[in-house]
Amino acid sequence: MTAARDVVVVGGGPAGTAASVFLRQQGFDVLLLDAARFPRDKICGEGVSPEAWRLLAAMGARDDVAGLGPHALRGMRVVAPDGTAFEGSYRRGGQVLSGFALRRSRLDTTLLGVARRVGVEVREGARVDGVVESAGHVVGVRLESGETVPARWVLGCDGRWGVSARAVGGLQPARRFRRFALRMHLHGVAELSDVGEMHVGRGGYCGIAPLPGDEANVAFVLDASAFRRAAGRLEAFARETLEDRFPAVAARTRETRASAPPRAIGPLAVAVRRRARPGLMLLGDAAGFHDPFTGEGVTLALRSGEIAAGPVGDALRGRSSPQTAAATYEDEYRRATRDKFRLNRLLQAVVALPALANAVARRLRDRPRTCDELVGIAGDFVPARRALGPRFVLELLRPPR
Ligand SMILES: Cc1cc2nc3c(=O)[nH]c(=O)nc-3n(C[C@H](O)[C@H](O)[C@H](O)COP(=O)(O)OP(=O)(O)OC[C@H]3O[C@@H](n4cnc5c(N)ncnc54)[C@H](O)[C@@H]3O)c2cc1C
């Protein structure tokens, strides 16, 4: 019987690499397993919020990511179905912040390299197919190859619908907003700038993120029913859908060349009732996924690694029981995400009603400070509760200054 590792991390996306690095920084022995071989693709809008820079710096990865030359994003522009647009900048007090856009294959491979550099043992091509349990505790993982790896803690960072989330239980498709997503990488999109774009159209929305070089990420999210015409003809479906539902985006992408075939996934939203049990915590998308409209996924994945490292470290040092560690993580994760998820649901409801989306956009167009505040929330450095209180609603109702 091999000795138990302190921590086994399942999945080497942003959640898995962040958790590995933060625990390694505390001196623990960490093994990271990923089914894929890197660089691997991940369907994503690839716009990352400014708050990610703080987390990357804490991981010692800031210079590595900056060295990839990501496209700096200074804010967001939202276009309503009737063409009304509003734009906000990432601004905190007098300070101008920036997010960035970068191919996930490059970002994730770099973060995995950082994990290796600080002493995390990384095994690629290692698919986990279940956890090992003893007396109600998770005590290791089982690989598809048949090998088992004993561990004092397992961190499930294997994304939506992963084996880790199934091992915690209570996983179900979200009841409302059953949406699918399609992502394209295109060369030659017209009128790109230094903001991320969100175009609200019939039945969903389409994001544009300018990537380094002459490339852009164009991704749309629509109700599952819209994807019935997609089977076996994704590229044609993608172009037709832009013409039909997002004509302003279509006009800017007609002359483009795809650098890779489009990819689609869904249903997107997964509700997770519990995120931890003794010996196992769920991080990143494995901890539940709502909707990419407010674009927090990568930052939240990194942040969940930072949150988990506290209680896992305490438990490994014998300062708390596995039960306490699991409850602490559950609590802190909920506190960190509750308001943003609530706002996200509210925005999804607005997006689903074109007349309401147009009216809200017209209100916001003439209120630059409110736009900055909203974009700051999307950027994860302004608390989301600011947009949930009566003050914000009143601000939208009063005549513009
Ligand atoms: C359409 C769309 C657009 C999005 N746009 C944005 C955006 O613009 N900005 C943003 O911040 N977020 C966005 N997101 C969300 C973001 O992509 C995710 O939140 C983020 O990737 C979560 O990171 P993660 O580390 O939890 O999981 P992932 O990045 O999915 O990594 C999971 C890893 O686990 C591995 N794995 C899976 N199963 C196993 C197994 N059984 N054994 C071993 N390894 C396994 C996989 O190979 C993978 O490497 C978007 C998502 C979608 C769907």
The domains of the chain are located at 5-72+96-174+269-343, 179-265
| Cβ 259 vs Cβ 185: under 8 Å | yes
Query: What's the pTM value of the predicted model, to 2 decimals?
Result: 0.96
Whether residue 313 has pLDDT greater than 90? yes
**Helices and strands: H and E segment counts in the chain:** 12, 22
Q: What is the pLDDT of residue 254?
A: 96
Structure tokens at 141: 């993982």
Q: What is the pLDDT of residue 388?
A: 85
Average pLDDT, whole number, for the chain? 94
Whether residue 182 has pLDDT greater than 70? yes
Whether residue 187 has pLDDT greater than 90? yes
Q: In which order are the strands placed within the sheet that holds 215-223?
A: 85-89, 75-79, 195-201, 204-210, 215-223, 179-187, 257-265
Q: CB burial class (10 A; 0-12, 13-18, 19+) of residue 133?
A: middle
Distance (Å, whole) CA 381 – CA 149: 38
5-72+96-174+269-343 and 179-265 in the same fold: no
User: Quick one: which H or E segment has residue 215?
Assistant: strand 215-223
Pocket test for ligand 1, best of 34, 143, 293 (most atoms within 8 A of CB): 34
- Mean per-residue pLDDT, 352-374: 92
Q: Atom 35, ligand 1: which residue's CA is nearest?
A: 11
Backbone φ, ψ for residue 13 (5° rounding): -80, -165
The fold of 179-265 is: D-Amino Acid Oxidase; Chain A, domain 2 (3.30.9)
User: Quick one: which H or E segment has residue 108?
Assistant: helix 104-117
Distance (Å, whole) CA 39 – CA 62: 19
Q: Identify the band that residue 400 occupies on the pLDDT scale cut at 50, 70 and 90.
A: low
What's the CATH number for 5-72+96-174+269-343?
Answer: 3.50.50.60
For residue 58, give the nearest of 21, 91, 29, 89 by alpha carbon.
21
Ligand 1 centroid–CA 71 distance in Å is 20
Distance (Å, whole) CA 250 – CA 241: 9
Ligand 1 centroid–CA 166 distance in Å is 16
Residue 36 CA, closest ligand 1 atom number: 47
Which range has the top average pLDDT, 159-173, 178-192, 338-352? 178-192
Ligand 1 centroid–CA 242 distance in Å is 25
Distance from CA of residue 191 to its chain's centroid? 26
Residue 34 CA, closest ligand 1 atom number: 44
Pocket test for ligand 1, best of 8, 32, 41, 44 (most atoms within 8 A of CB): 44
C-beta atoms surrounding 58 within 10 Å: 17
Give the pLDDT confidence of 147-173 residue by residue, as tens digits. Answer: 999 999 999 999 988 999 999 887 777
Pocket test for ligand 1, best of 154, 285, 296, 307 (most atoms within 8 A of CB): 285
Residue 162 CA, closest ligand 1 atom number: 38
Percent of the chain having pLDDT more than 90? 80
Q: Considering only 85-99, 151-165, 167-181, 314-328, which range has the smallest mean pLDDT?
A: 167-181
Q: What is the pLDDT of residue 201?
A: 95
Pocket test for ligand 1, best of 31, 37, 38, 42 (most atoms within 8 A of CB): 42
Q: What is the pLDDT of residue 211?
A: 98
Ligand 1 centroid–CA 399 distance in Å is 42
